[in-house]
Structures are given as structure tokens and as C-alpha cells.
A and B are shown apart, each in its own frame.
Chain A
């Protein structure tokens, strides 16, 4: 028997929780069909996280993509189908690439990250497009391109160093009408690996406190720069990312296991630490950097 997992019409970091809620009670070997036929829009976080659902299943999951031509075509241009076909059993129409029409909103198509060379390639790819978008369109300072690529590099390395599996990264820009009314650039990095708690537990000699759970693991990693490695220099990547995101008045959110931690800017009303979420393997990171507006 196959259980149908319904993907909401608009898929972002918040609505994706409804997908995780549906998956949580199912055993890993339960056959599922991820049904995105009625989905009209997905953030890069939503698209990369959908791929990690396939990683989380012992029985190969099925996938049915959006019925709307425009949505399916956009997902195709964002690189979703190229990877979905490798990890899902595909149902229904799978759109094919048409020529080499560039997608201006997609700074980085969905790209797999498993090893250090992949991080090099991601950084090489993003640099040429990032300058034009970040400085000319989002009005960030000229050094933002370097800081942005440094940020992207560090969050991708999180997969290489901690996930113990392949993850995916995507970078897109769009107008964030819902909360901000401004353009944003969004980095999404998702994997279905071991997650922050298990990664930190693997540190030799680490003493776990009575309250040791996914939430505390996220607090340790994001707020206290704790790493599973004992070198004093470890844990700086995420600390650096946090500093830069704060500098840009951006938002950093990391979900892992049953918890989600967020660095929240003034324009957002999220909760800093959510616990007791539906369990889902790995780590899912989203960074949102808003267009800078002149202070009046």
C-alpha cells in the first residue's frame, strides 16, 4: 500500500512542516507518493527539502510533480527534475529542458554537494552571477559578493563535514511579498544525513547534559560555536555565517531532527527556537538576505 503525502500549494520552510507531519508516523520502509500536483510555488528550501525526503525513505519514494505548466517549467529550470529523477520514482509528466534559456531568478540551480570539490564548484559558479544581483539589484555593499560566497561555502561544507550523505544547495532571488515587500536572495542547503545532534554526539569525550536534544544541539552549534571536532578553530564557519547574516539584516534558520533555530531580523516574526517538531533526518538550512533600502 502506498501512502500519499500531500505537498501544499505554496511550499516554503513553514508549510513544509505539514509534509514532515505526514511522514513522521510512517515507518521508513512504507512506500510513499509525494504528491505535488497541486503545488503552485516552492521556495528553494522547499525544492531541496523535497529531495531529502527521498533520502529519508528505505523504500524508494514516488513523486508526482506540479500539474501547472508554469510551475513545472520553473522547477525544471531550477534543476529540480534532474535530481528528482535520480532519487524518486517519477509519476506523470516530467518536463524536459528547452534549450539554454537562462533563469534570471536562479542564481544557482539545485546542485548536489557531497565532497569538497563540489563546494569549490558551487563557489566558482555563484561568483559571476552574485555580483550583479547582490550589488546592482539588492544594493548590498560591494564586499557583499565575497561575504556571500564565504557564507555559501561554509553552509555547503556543513554537509561535507557532518551529514555523511549527499545534500543539495540552491540559491534564488525573488520578491518576498508576504512579509517584506522587497526582493530577497535565498540560500537553501538541505540534507537527509545524521543531523546536528548525532554529529555533536560523535565528538570524543563529549559530556551530554540532562537536557540534551535536537534543540540544544542547534543552540550549541549556532550560538556557542560548538563542533564535533576538538580543534580550537572549529565551529567558526557557522559563527561567521551568523555574523554576516546579522550584518545584512537577514534571517538564518536551521532545522534538524525535531527542532528549528532561527536568527530573526526585525522584519520577521518567527520564533527563535521551535521544539517538538515532527522528526526528520539531517539538517535543513535557509538563509534569507533582503534587499537593502535607504533609511529615510
Chain B
């Protein structure tokens, strides 16, 4: 069973930094918000899909994008797969997405972003094979690794390893039945 958690970043900002601020700007602000999110994640049931929702944020600058998204995802990535949290970022205006993409590139990270229509997109850094495999998963909903190989060909590519890489980067979920799917928000 996968648990679903939603974090409204705007509420975290007002609760932890200042009731009057609606802008996510400056590093100290971003660091405070990130620590609050990290605290909220401690002890959550696993595996879980955590939605980081920026919908009500008036402004997100590069420094805050780094402090919140960059450092949060980087720490999770370094934690060697624990906790089993899949992040889905939501509510990004185009400039915020640009800022987050720039941040992810600096950390060599990739993340899942959900657009207003509910479609999930892959942003950040990922090698070409992994990216293509991820798109097959998205297109089909859920797949066996063999289906990816059948779709993309290229037997020289170790698709099982590619999928493991996607899974360890929390970009796909390996279900108990062996099928691979995208993390879904509730």
C-alpha cells in the first residue's frame, strides 16, 4: 500500500517564517521551509507519495528553489533509498519550473512535476536511456521490464538496471507484482 501526503508550501511558509509573507525568497526562508518539510516527513508511513504543492506561492526565487527542492531531494537521494518517499512537485508557474530545472541540473537530480491537467513530467538530469524508459512507463501506465525492452529494442542496454536506477531515484515505483509504474498522487 502506498500512502499519500500533501504539503502546501505556502502554509509552511506562513507558519514557520512569517504570517505576512507569501513570497518564497531568500536562502534563510528556503532553509526554514525545507527543515519544516523534513520534520513533517519524519515518521510518515512508507512507501509514500508526497506532493510538494507550490500552488499558493506568489513567488519562488532561485535561492529558495535550491534550498527547498534542491537540498530536500539531494538529501533524500543520498539517504540510500530510505525513507521510501516519492516526491511529486505541483503548482509550478513557468518561471518557478525554470528555477527548479536549473537547480536539479546543478545537483544532477531529476524530479517529477505534475502540471495543472494532472499529467506528470520528468524534469532535471537523466541519461537518455533512462529517460526513454520512463516515458514508456508513463505512456503505458504500468509495465514489466521486458515490455520496455520490447518497445525500445536495443538489447545491448541493460533495461533491468535502467529501471533499478529509475526506482532508486524515486522516479518510478516497483510494485509488489513486479510491474513498474509512476508514483501517483491521490
Contacts and interface: CB of A to CB of B under 8 A. Distances in A.
Interface of A: 116, 119-120, 123-124, 127, 143, 146-147, 149-150, 153-154, 157, 160-161, 231-234, 236-237, 239-240, 243
B164 to A, nearest CB: 24
B27 interface: yes
Nearest to A147: B95
B32 to A, nearest CB: 10
Given A116-B29, A120-B23, A123-B23, A157 B63 contact: yes
B25 A119 contact: yes
Contact of A143 (B63, B70, B94): B94
A74 B12 CA distance: 41
Given A120-B18, A153-B63, A154-B61, A146 B93 contact: yes
A189 to B, nearest CB: 14
B25 A123 contact: yes
Contacts of B74: 232
A236 B59 contact: no
Given A150-B62, A236-B66, A120 B106 contact: no
11 contacts: A116-B27, A119-B25, A120-B26, A143-B94, A149-B59, A154-B62, A157-B27, A237-B63, A240-B99, A240-B102, A243-B102
Q: Which of A116, A120, A123, A143 has the most CB of B within 10 A?
A: A120
A233 B26 contact: no
Contacts of A150: 25, 59-62, 95, 99
B61 to A, nearest CB: 4
A232 B107 contact: yes
Contacts of A116: 26-29
Nearest to B28: A116
Nearest to B60: A150
Given A120-B25, A153-B59, A236-B62, A146 B102 contact: no
A243 B101 CA distance: 13
Interface of B: 18, 21, 23, 25-29, 58-63, 65-67, 70-71, 74, 93-96, 98-99, 102-103, 106-107
Given A116-B29, A120-B26, A157-B27, A237 B62 contact: yes
Contacts of B96: 146
B26 A236 contact: no
A231 B103 CA distance: 12
Label chain B's interface by main secondary structure.
Answer: helix
Contacts of A149: 23, 25, 59, 61
Contacts of B71: 231, 233
Given A124-B23, A153-B63, A157-B61, 18 more contacts: A120-B18, A123-B23, A124-B21, A127-B58, A127-B59, A146-B59, A146-B96, A149-B23, A150-B59, A154-B63, A157-B26, A157-B27, A161-B27, A233-B67, A233-B70, A236-B65, A236-B106, A239-B62
Contact of A240 (B18, B59, B62): B62
A146 B97 CA distance: 12
A236 B94 contact: no
Contacts of B18: 120
Contacts of A233: 66-67, 70-71, 103, 106-107
Contacts of B66: 231, 233-234, 236
Contacts of B62: 150, 154, 236-237, 239-240
Q: Nearest 5 A-B pairs (CB), nearest first?
A: A233-B66, A116-B26, A240-B62, A153-B61, A153-B25
A133 B154 CA distance: 54
Contacts of B102: 236, 239-240, 243
B63 A232 contact: no
Contacts of A160: 26
A240 B97 CA distance: 12
Nearest to A161: B27
A118 to B, nearest CB: 9
Contacts of A239: 62, 102
B103 A236 contact: yes
B95 to A, nearest CB: 4
A239 B66 CA distance: 13
A272 to B, nearest CB: 23
